Amino acid sequence: MKAIKYALTALAVAFAVPAFAHDGVHIEGAYARFMPGAMAGAAFMTIENHATVDDRLVGVASDIADRVELHTHKMGADGTMQMLHVPEGFAIPSGETHELKRGGDHIMFMGLKARPKDGDTIHVTLTFEHAGDVEVEIPVDGTR
């Protein structure tokens, strides 16, 4: 009887573990930078997709700027880096990550309503095809 009790307990624990596993998208290491004298800034982070389906970051919103867009850097024909709006967003396959980083994909804030200072936190809503809206509080850190 004791062996059955232990077996049932082990079985219950085995089935309970997935309930504690993280599902959906998870944001790590987010920070934003705003350059002195510029009416623009950018945010960077790592997006982890723990879901069983591929997802895509398709939009971003924040009340700190007139326009908030998904951007990337691309080498122009003349050899200079250009910043481009990416209206289709960024794919995040199931079980993988997508890094928004300086010199690459990022969130761009244009037409700032007020310039955030180091130590401030800005509120951003990330919109994903499957995960929906994910609210993120992003610290401002110009030292990174």
13 pLDDT above the threshold of 80: no
Nearest to 114 by CA among 72, 69, 70, 62: 62
- Residue 11: the pLDDT is 41
> Structure pTM?
0.81
Burial of 87 (0-12, 13-18, 19+ CB in 10 A): exposed
Instruction: Give mean pLDDT, residues 36-45.
Output: 93
If pLDDT is split at 50, 70 and 90, which confidence band does 16 have? very low
Instruction: Give mean pLDDT, residues 46-75.
Output: 96
Instruction: Give mean pLDDT, residues 111-131.
Output: 96
